[in-house]
Amino acid sequence: MANFIKRKTNWLNTRMGFFLLVVVLFWVKTYIAYQTEFSLGAKGSVQQFLLFINPIPATLLVFGIALYFRGRLAYWLMIIINVLESTWIFANILYYREFSDFLSFGIMKGSSDVGNNLGKSLAQITHVYDFFVYVDIVILIVLLLMHVIRIDPRPFKRRYALSISVLAFGLMFAEFGMANADRSGLLTRTFDNNYIVKYLGLNEYAAFNAYQTQKESATRASANASDMKSVKKYLKQNQVSPNVSYFGKEKGKNVFIIHLESFQQFLLDYKVDGKEVTPTLNKFYHSKNTLSYDNFYNQVAQGKTSDAEMMLENSLFGLPQGSAMTTYGTQNTFQAAPALLSQKAGYTTAAFHGDVPSFWNRDNTYKSWGYQYFFSSSYYTEKSGYSVGYGLKDKIFFKQSAKYIDQLPQPFYAKLITLTNHYPYELDKKNTDFPATKTGDKTVDPYVQTAHYLDQSFAEFMTYLKKAGLYKNSVIVAYGDHYGISNNHRAAIAQLLGKDKVTSFDLAQFQKVPFMIHADGLKGGISHTYGGEIDVLPTLLDLLGVKNTDTVQFGQDLLAKDRNQTVAFRNGNFVSPKYTKLGGTVYDTKTGKALTLTTKQKKVVDQMQNHVTTELSLSDRVIYGDLLRFYTPKGFTKVDKGDFTYKLKPAMAKLAEAQEKEKTSVMSKNGNKNIDYKTDAPELK
């Protein structure tokens, strides 16, 4: 036995032995932190496996640096690296506790510094057991000082050190390959920091974040005020005057933006086995008090929902790659709908979503946009069966949101983002009382079932609005953010549309999504004007009578008479009432036939293309260069992110205070009681 122990400690007395001990301790410690301090949501064996092993490659690489150095120095370097690495974990534990997100370099160097943002003092949120992350270091130091482990003075061969580094890189690539196979677009689409840590690890996250921040600040640094001048010149040339019979018609009303996840236009009035998929939305669409659009296109790219949000609330396009909210949402200056409405018209502003707040970097971006409240996962009661896919099922989400809506001082601007109608359109039996389509494509067929569920949820929410008296004094906007069925399902799409096959032209038309504005007394009807998500903000502001001639918006009011009806897709393709251009082919929009252009026609199409390319690239310049920091519209004050907290307790205290002061919330007017919300959600029975 004594011999055995001796042999063991002998082994630890070599440099390699000590190195491996340090690495294993650090690995275990990181994994414990993953499991106890962060909610990374690893589902399934691949994700669990990646989470377990992901600290290894980076730990080998970073700690391996010490192996290139001699004697004592190598040992102390390992300790120093460990202190730095552990401090990174420590800082993230504290930040995560407050924000359910990881620290980013943008935030660390940002104007609203971390401490400021925390809402509580560091001491208040630090727990004694957080210092556990330093325990292995203390043990290692003691072992060294007590000479239990002796320092190995022999020189370590360079090529061994090098082999460790090479091995680390190799493992990193393998890990990245597995991660990308499980979640494609992990680093290009940049969904959520939690995903990067879950798949790749805290160090890889730090490296990626540093790279992004560096890229972002380089373009920011090279931009200047004169760039803004060319943007403003363009916008001035493209300005249209609002429609006088609509301008200001809905002044002072509450606004609901209801985000219908993955909802396409073709679903409206669509029937399966003779039954309407979305009876309530159909009625809403055809109501004489709803302004509806049947040539309204989604214009998103990789950023999907986040691109839609960016366009809708800023009238700025999403980026050609990745998500603008993720990459630029934290640092950039914005003049978004919530800030404009609260500053110019005294609105209370709130967003509602049944997913974690870090997805699409909403937790930071919404602050930049001036949202006073963001009700996300921690505000909702979660029980088994309440969620599917990304988060809360829509019926439960709407019901639980209502109790917060009741508390908002009026007028308010409330955005509710639904989730259940999201790929892969999964829903339990109890909630599925609608027939699937029968194309035989497993991804496509349940789409109408979750869409039907969304319609039922919408119906329940409308019933609540009527009961609360909100239906009459609110503008209700409902829109689909992007396709639910991707172009990869051509055969199934053809069947759904009752065609033999679909052409590229058909697929472009398939990108239509609903856009509807309902208000009591509003002169409605179905408009055939061509438009898209970029046009929503100016339309809404005009209806509310909020001046927006001096704001930076790339869209045009859908109600304006002389508007430009060329709708840009993010890849530079476009649709218009006359021509549709897809890649090198131009189609007649009326017939869908490919055209051979006359010289005269070509000139017109070239002009349209020029318009599209210019608006996209100027919008990109605004985001890449953070150009809005150089221009503040009259009467607008730059948003200070430090004004907002989305942490449950302080935010609810703020809301209570605001209610007390203004006494205009539904609840204040209802004897401080909530409105009874009716739902048939089986989970709540």
**CA–CA dist 339, 122 (Å, integer):** 29
Distance from C-alpha of 602 to C-alpha of 605, rounded to nearest angstrom? 5
Q: Which does 101 bind (CB under 5 to 8 A by kind): ligand GP9, Mn ion, none?
A: none
Count, residues near ligand GP9 per rule CB under 6 A: 7
Residue 68, binding choice from Mn ion, ligand GP9, none, Cβ under 5 to 8 Å by partner class: none
- The two counts, helices (H) then strands (E), for the chain are 26, 18
Binding to ligand GP9 (CB under 6 A): which residues in 347-366? 355, 359
Closer CB to ligand GP9, 242 or 480, in the complex: 480
| 359 contact choice in ligand GP9, Mn ion, none (CB below 5 to 8 Å, kind-dependent) | ligand GP9
Q: CA 72 to CA 431: how far, in whole Å?
A: 66
- Name the nearest CA neighbour of 89 among 57, 123, 55: 55
Q: Is 460 annotated as a binding residue?
A: no
Minimum distance of Mn ion from residue 305's CB (angstroms): 3
Distance in Å, CB of 305 to ligand GP9, minimum = 3
Query: Does the annotation flag 353 for ligand binding?
Result: no
- Residues 530-543 as b/e (b if ≥16 CB within 10 A, e otherwise) read bbbbbbbbbbbbbb
Contacts of the segment 51-57: beta carbons below 8 A, 24+ positions apart: 51/198, 51/199, 53/175, 54/175, 54/199, 54/200, 54/201, 54/204, 55/26, 55/27, 55/30, 55/31, 55/201, 55/202, 55/203, 56/23, 56/27, 56/171, 57/168, 57/169, 57/171, 57/172, 57/175, 57/201
What b/e sequence results for 495-523 when a residue is b if at least 16 CB atoms lie within 10 Å of its CB, and e otherwise? Answer: bbeeeeebbbbeebbbbbbbbbbbbeebe
Minimal CA–CA distance to 418: which of 590, 260, 532? 260
Tokens found for residue 102: 């990881």
Is residue 490 within the footprint of ligand GP9 (CB under 6 A)?
no
Is 14 designated active site? no
Collapse the DSSP code of 297 into the 3-class scheme (helix H, G, I; strand E, B; otherwise coil) and give the result: strand
The answer to whether 309 is a known ligand-binding residue is: no
Q: Reduced to 3 states, what is the DSSP secondary structure of residue 209?
A: helix
Residue 27 binds which one of ligand GP9, Mn ion, none, with CB within 5 to 8 A depending on kind? none
* Region 33-72 residues binding ligand GP9, contact defined as CB under 6 A: none
481 marked as part of a ligand binding site = yes
Residue 33 near residue 94, CB atoms below 8 Å: no
In the beta sheet, which residues pair with residue 532? 297
Amino acid at 59: T
Near Mn ion in 489-528, by CB under 5 A = none
Q: 393 to 422, contacts with ligand GP9 by CB under 6 A?
A: 417, 422
> Catalytic pick from 30, 278, 305, 439?
305
List, in sequence order, every residue forming a beta bridge with 476; answer none if it has no partner.
Answer: 256, 518
Cα(285)–Cα(294) distance, integer angstroms: 10
Pick out residues in 273-312 that bind Mn ion (CB under 5 A): 304-305
Closer to ligand GP9 by CB, 40 or 494: give it. Answer: 40
Shortest Cβ 587–ligand GP9 spacing (Å): 28
Tell the smallest beta-carbon distance from residue 513 to Mn ion (Å): 10
CB of residue 354 to ligand GP9, shortest distance in Å:
8
Q: Taking contact as CB under 5 A, which single stretch among the options 221-229, 239-247, 378-386, 478-486 is the one that binds Mn ion?
A: 478-486
Number of residues that bind Mn ion (CB under 5 A): 3
User: Closest CB to ligand GP9 belongs to which residue?
Assistant: 304
The C-alpha torsion from 508 through 509 and 513 to 515, rounded to 10°, is 120
Minimum gap (Å) between residue 419 Cβ and Mn ion: 8
Cβ 540 to ligand GP9 shortest distance, Å: 21
Residue 586 binding result from Mn ion, ligand GP9, none, given CB thresholds of 5 to 8 Å by partner type: none
State CA 471 to chain mean position distance: 28
Binding mask 596-615 for ligand GP9 (x = CB under 6 A): --------------------
Which are the contacts of 217, defined by CB distance < 8 A and separation ≥ 6? none
Pairing of strands 574-575, 567-568: antiparallel
Q: Which one, 15 or 482, has the nearer CB to ligand GP9?
A: 482
Q: If contact means CB under 5 to 8 A according to the sort of partner, which of ligand GP9, Mn ion, none does residue 309 touch? A: none
> Taking a C-beta distance cutoff of 8 angstroms, is the pair 144, 151 a contact?
yes
Q: How far is CA 66 from CA 71, 76, 79, 135, 160, in A?
A: 10, 8, 9, 20, 12
Q: Which of residues 420-479 bind ligand GP9 (CB under 6 A)?
A: 422
Give the span between the Cα atoms of 104 and 593, in whole angstroms.
Answer: 50
Nearer to ligand GP9, 90 or 191 (CB): 191
What would the two tokens of residue 530 be? 């061509």
Q: Find the residue with minimal CB distance to Mn ion.
A: 305
Q: How far is the CB of 554 from Mn ion (least distance, A)?
A: 21
Q: Which is nearer to Mn ion, 305 or 589 (CB)?
A: 305
Selection from Mn ion, ligand GP9, none that 30 binds (CB < 5 to 8 A by kind) is none
Judged by beta carbon, residue 304 or residue 563, the one nearer Mn ion is 304
Q: How far apart (Å, rounded) are the C-alpha atoms in residues 679 and 391?
A: 18
Contact partner, 358, from ligand GP9, Mn ion, none, Cβ < 5-8 Å per class: none
Q: Where would I find the H helices in 152-278? A: 158-182, 193-199, 202-222, 225-237
Structure token pair of residue 99: 């924000």
Query: Residue 361 or residue 372: which is nearer to Mn ion going by CB?
Result: 361
Three-class DSSP category at 527: strand
Q: Tell me which stretch binds Mn ion (CB under 5 A): 280-288, 477-485, 621-629, 676-684.
A: 477-485
By CB under 5 A, is residue 481 in contact with Mn ion? yes
Q: How far is the CB of 323 from Mn ion (least distance, A)?
A: 11
Binding residue for ligand GP9, selected from 390, 471, 630, 636, defined by CB under 6 A: 390
The pattern of x and - marking residues 281 through 320 that bind ligand GP9 according to CB under 6 A reads -----------------------xx---------------
216 is in an annotated binding site: no
CA 621 to CA 615: how far, in whole Å? 10
Residues 94-123 that bind ligand GP9 (CB under 6 A): none
Q: For residues 119 and 303, which CB has a smaller minimum distance to Mn ion in the complex? A: 303
Instruction: Report the side by side order of strands in the sheet with 585-588.
Output: 567-568, 574-575, 579-582, 585-588
Q: Identify which of residues 325 and 546 has a Cβ nearer to ligand GP9 in the complex.
A: 325
Planar angle of CA 463, 464, 467, nearest 5 degrees: 90
Asked if omega into 338 is within 30° of 0 (cis), the reply is no
CB 198 within 8 A of CB 596: no
| Nearest to ligand GP9 of 92, 305 (CB atom) | 305
Dihedral sign of CA atoms 560, 564, 569, 571 in order: negative
CB of 514 to ligand GP9, least distance (A): 16
Q: Of these partners, Mn ion, ligand GP9, none, which one is at the site of residue 371 (CB under 5 to 8 Å by kind)?
A: none
Q: Which helix (H) or strand (E) holds 471?
A: none
What residue numbers does the annotated binding site cover? 261, 305, 422, 481-482
What residue numbers does the annotated binding site for Mn(2+) cover? 261, 305, 481-482
Note the residues at the interface with ligand GP9 (CB under 6 A).
304-305, 355, 359, 390, 417, 422
Note the residues at the interface with Mn ion (CB under 5 A).
304-305, 481
- Residues serving a catalytic function are 305
What residue numbers does the annotated binding site for substrate cover? 422
